[in-house]
Amino acid sequence: MEIFQAVTTRRSIRKFRPDPVPEGLIREIIEAARWSPSWANTQPWEIWVVVGEPLERFKKANRQRFLDGAIAAPDTPMPEVWPETLKRRYTEIGKRLLTAMEIPREDKEGRLRYAGDTFALFDAPCLLLFCVDRSLAREYAMLDIGAIQQTVCLLAHARGLGSCILAVSARYPELIRETIPIPEEKAVIIGVTLGYPDSEAPINNFTRERAIPDEFTTWVR
Ligand SMILES: Cc1cc2nc3c(=O)[nH]c(=O)nc-3n(C[C@H](O)[C@H](O)[C@H](O)COP(=O)(O)O)c2cc1C
């Protein structure tokens, strides 16, 4: 797949076919993604690939923890307050997701069910958890994690796989560690799901928007 095409046609996939992702394909993607840039070639990323029974257990437990109303305590705290423009954008994507799922705003139960599905990682057959050692300066290592994550998503797309970067996969790190042997000294940054997309599903097909370049670009000549 041509690179511009890959970048502009990748989208977050939130409904997968049940087919497992072949281990060889996951390995091929990671093998290529290791060529991602990092500060001074430090390559601070560590990836846990979770599939099969441990993933099924984690998806179920993560959904339940959310439905139990547990307070999230991610290793990478999420901001609680966002500027108005950004808030408008995340509210809009939330609306579009619910509309695609035909869940009316006033349907509290439906919304809760949907949120639960999010915490169950949209039932993806593969999860990559990106971690860094706690001894590292986190803000800086995160730049490198962002670079490799996007590379993984694009490579997956080029091989016909869907992906979704999921903050909700890392909301309860202590729960992750109950199922997945990530040592305490590794901070869980975020997870990326992989799987074959259900191409017909409305949740994989709603229209997305982006700011136009002039809104965020300043040219200095
Ligand atoms: C750091 C990060 C965390 C994200 N967490 C979630 C999440 O928890 N749930 C979700 O449905 N999508 C999540 N996404 C996907 C974004 O919603 C998505 O990238 C954005 O809406 C743009 O849509 P696109 O990826 O289809 O282009 C996350 C993306 C990023 C980069």
Q: Where are the domains of the chain?
A: 3-206
Across 169-195, average pLDDT:
97
Q: For residue 95, how far is its CA from the centre of ligand 1 (angstroms)? A: 14
Residue 1 scores a pLDDT above 90 = no
Question: What average pLDDT does the structure give for the chain?
Answer: 97
CATH level 2 (architecture), domain 3-206? 3-Layer(aba) Sandwich (3.40)
CB 191 within 8 A of CB 131: no
Across 62-91, average pLDDT:
95
- For residue 212, what pLDDT is reported? 97
Across 67-75, average pLDDT:
96
Q: How far apart are CA 173 and CA 184, in angstroms?
A: 9
- For residue 165, what pLDDT is reported? 98
Q: For residue 41, how far is its CA from the centre of ligand 1 (angstroms)? A: 27
pLDDT tens readout for residues 127-165: 999 999 999 999 999 999 999 999 999 999 999 999 999
Q: How far apart are CA 102 and CA 97, in angstroms?
A: 9
pLDDT tens readout for residues 192-210: 999 999 999 999 999 999 9
CB 177 within 8 A of CB 184: yes
User: Which residues 6+ apart lie within 8 Å of 92 measured at CB?
Assistant: 209
Q: Provide the pLDDT confidence category of residue 68 given band limits of 50, 70 and 90.
A: very high
Residue 104 scores a pLDDT above 90 = yes
User: Which residue type sits at 63?
Assistant: R
Q: Give percent of the chain with pLDDT exceeding 70.
A: 100
Ligand 1: nearest atom to the Cα of 168: 8
Q: Which residues line ligand 1 (CB under 6 A)?
A: 11-12, 14, 93, 118, 164-168, 190, 208
Across 176-203, average pLDDT:
97
- For residue 12, what pLDDT is reported? 98
